[in-house]
Protein backbone atom coordinates (compact mmCIF):
# COMPACT_ATOMS: atom_id res chain seq x y z
CA UNK A 1 0.00 0.00 0.00
CA UNK A 2 1.36 3.39 -0.91
CA UNK A 3 1.28 6.40 1.33
CA UNK A 4 -0.72 9.36 0.01
CA UNK A 5 0.11 12.96 0.73
CA UNK A 6 -2.34 15.63 1.77
CA UNK A 7 -2.20 17.03 -1.75
CA UNK A 8 -3.34 13.66 -3.13
CA UNK A 9 -6.43 13.77 -0.91
CA UNK A 10 -7.15 17.32 -2.04
CA UNK A 11 -7.14 16.01 -5.61
CA UNK A 12 -9.34 13.09 -4.60
CA UNK A 13 -11.80 15.51 -2.95
CA UNK A 14 -11.88 17.75 -6.04
CA UNK A 15 -12.63 14.73 -8.25
CA UNK A 16 -15.38 13.55 -5.88
CA UNK A 17 -16.97 17.00 -5.86
CA UNK A 18 -16.65 17.38 -9.64
CA UNK A 19 -18.29 13.99 -10.19
CA UNK A 20 -21.31 15.40 -8.35
CA UNK A 21 -21.35 18.64 -10.35
CA UNK A 22 -19.68 20.81 -7.69
CA UNK A 23 -17.02 23.24 -8.92
CA UNK A 24 -14.12 23.83 -6.51
CA UNK A 25 -11.02 25.98 -6.56
CA UNK A 26 -7.79 24.85 -4.96
CA UNK A 27 -5.82 27.49 -3.10
CA UNK A 28 -2.05 27.64 -2.69
CA UNK A 29 -0.46 24.52 -1.18
CA UNK A 30 0.14 26.14 2.21
CA UNK A 31 -3.13 28.08 2.28
CA UNK A 32 -6.08 27.31 4.48
CA UNK A 33 -8.67 26.21 3.53
CA UNK A 34 -7.56 23.82 0.80
CA UNK A 35 -10.62 24.18 -1.43
CA UNK A 36 -13.21 26.87 -1.99
CA UNK A 37 -16.68 26.14 -3.38
CA UNK A 38 -17.43 29.62 -4.76
CA UNK A 39 -21.03 28.97 -5.81
CA UNK A 40 -21.92 27.83 -2.29
CA UNK A 41 -19.61 30.13 -0.28
CA UNK A 42 -17.88 27.25 1.47
CA UNK A 43 -14.25 26.66 2.39
CA UNK A 44 -13.04 23.08 2.90
CA UNK A 45 -9.93 22.08 4.80
CA UNK A 46 -9.07 18.57 3.59
CA UNK A 47 -7.65 16.02 6.01
CA UNK A 48 -7.22 12.26 6.13
CA UNK A 49 -6.70 9.81 8.96
CA UNK A 50 -6.13 6.10 9.44
CA UNK A 51 -7.87 6.34 12.81
CA UNK A 52 -11.60 6.48 13.55
CA UNK A 53 -11.00 10.01 14.90
CA UNK A 54 -9.32 13.12 13.60
CA UNK A 55 -7.94 15.59 16.13
CA UNK A 56 -8.05 19.27 15.02
CA UNK A 57 -5.55 19.93 17.81
CA UNK A 58 -2.91 18.27 15.59
CA UNK A 59 -3.01 21.44 13.47
CA UNK A 60 -3.83 24.20 15.99
CA UNK A 61 -2.82 27.09 13.71
CA UNK A 62 -5.12 25.90 10.93
CA UNK A 63 -7.95 25.29 13.39
CA UNK A 64 -7.59 28.76 14.94
CA UNK A 65 -7.48 30.35 11.48
CA UNK A 66 -10.64 28.56 10.35
CA UNK A 67 -12.44 29.35 13.59
CA UNK A 68 -11.43 33.00 14.02
CA UNK A 69 -9.92 34.55 10.88
CA UNK A 70 -11.50 32.73 7.94
CA UNK A 71 -14.80 34.63 8.10
CA UNK A 72 -12.88 37.92 8.05
CA UNK A 73 -10.73 36.93 5.06
CA UNK A 74 -13.66 35.32 3.23
CA UNK A 75 -16.81 37.30 4.16
CA UNK A 76 -19.98 35.26 3.82
CA UNK A 77 -18.14 31.94 3.48
CA UNK A 78 -18.45 29.06 5.96
CA UNK A 79 -15.52 26.78 6.84
CA UNK A 80 -15.74 23.00 7.15
CA UNK A 81 -13.36 20.10 7.64
CA UNK A 82 -13.65 17.43 4.94
CA UNK A 83 -11.99 14.33 6.37
CA UNK A 84 -11.26 11.11 4.54
CA UNK A 85 -11.39 8.18 6.98
CA UNK A 86 -9.11 5.62 5.37
CA UNK A 87 -10.34 2.63 7.41
CA UNK A 88 -13.92 3.01 6.20
CA UNK A 89 -13.05 4.55 2.78
CA UNK A 90 -15.46 7.43 3.30
CA UNK A 91 -15.53 11.22 3.41
CA UNK A 92 -17.18 13.00 6.33
CA UNK A 93 -17.83 16.74 6.73
CA UNK A 94 -17.58 18.59 10.05
CA UNK A 95 -18.27 22.21 11.03
CA UNK A 96 -15.59 24.09 13.00
CA UNK A 97 -17.37 24.65 16.35
CA UNK A 98 -14.95 23.07 18.80
CA UNK A 99 -11.54 21.47 18.93
CA UNK A 100 -12.98 18.12 20.05
CA UNK A 101 -12.12 15.05 17.96
CA UNK A 102 -14.04 14.45 14.74
CA UNK A 103 -15.35 10.88 14.85
CA UNK A 104 -16.11 8.97 11.67
CA UNK A 105 -19.56 7.97 12.91
CA UNK A 106 -20.54 11.58 13.70
CA UNK A 107 -19.69 13.42 10.52
CA UNK A 108 -22.05 14.26 7.69
CA UNK A 109 -21.66 11.98 4.69
CA UNK A 110 -20.32 13.81 1.65
CA UNK A 111 -23.44 13.00 -0.41
CA UNK A 112 -25.70 14.35 2.35
CA UNK A 113 -23.57 17.49 2.68
CA UNK A 114 -23.72 18.10 -1.07
CA UNK A 115 -27.48 17.62 -1.07
CA UNK A 116 -27.81 20.15 1.77
CA UNK A 117 -25.60 22.83 0.21
CA UNK A 118 -27.15 22.47 -3.23
CA UNK A 119 -30.72 22.52 -1.94
CA UNK A 120 -30.05 25.53 0.30
CA UNK A 121 -27.89 27.51 -2.12
CA UNK A 122 -28.81 31.06 -2.88
CA UNK A 123 -27.25 31.24 -6.33
CA UNK A 124 -28.51 34.27 -8.23
CA UNK A 125 -28.78 33.11 -11.82
CA UNK A 126 -30.10 36.51 -12.93
CA UNK A 127 -26.50 37.74 -12.90
CA UNK A 128 -25.66 35.41 -15.78
CA UNK A 129 -28.90 35.65 -17.78
CA UNK A 130 -28.19 36.49 -21.37
CA UNK A 131 -24.59 35.29 -21.07
CA UNK A 132 -25.51 31.69 -21.82
CA UNK A 133 -27.68 31.46 -24.91
* pLDDT tens digits, one per residue of 39-55: 999 999 999 999 999 98
- CATH number where 99 lies: 3.40.1350.10
User: Domain for residue 27, yes or no?
Assistant: yes
Owning domain of residue 52: 6-128
User: Domain for residue 39, yes or no?
Assistant: yes
User: Domain for residue 1, yes or no?
Assistant: no
Res 121 pLDDT > 70: no
To the nearest whole number, what is the mean pLDDT of the chain? 82
Residue 33, preceding peptide bond in cis (omega within 30° of 0): yes
Cβ pair 44, 12 in contact under 8 A: no
Res 85 pLDDT > 90: yes
Cβ pair 27, 34 in contact under 8 A: yes
* pLDDT tens digits, one per residue of 102-113: 898 888 999 899
Domain count, the chain: 1
User: Domain for residue 73, yes or no?
Assistant: yes
Q: Mention every residue, 6+ apart, whose C-beta is less than 8 A from residue 57.
A: 63, 99
* pLDDT tens digits, one per residue of 7-43: 778 889 999 999 988 888 887 666 678 899 999 999 9
Nearest in space to 49 (alpha carbons), one of 35, 63, 59, 60: 59
Q: Per the confidence metrics, is the pTM higher than 0.85? A: no
User: Domain for residue 133, yes or no?
Assistant: no
The predicted pLDDT at position 28 comes to 66
Handedness of CA 8, 10, 13, 15 (dihedral sign): negative
User: Domain for residue 45, yes or no?
Assistant: yes
User: Domain for residue 81, yes or no?
Assistant: yes
Amino acid sequence: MTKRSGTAYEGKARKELASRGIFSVGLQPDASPDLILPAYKIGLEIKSTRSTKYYPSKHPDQYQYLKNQFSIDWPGFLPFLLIYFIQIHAWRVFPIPSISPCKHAEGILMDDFIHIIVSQSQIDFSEIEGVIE
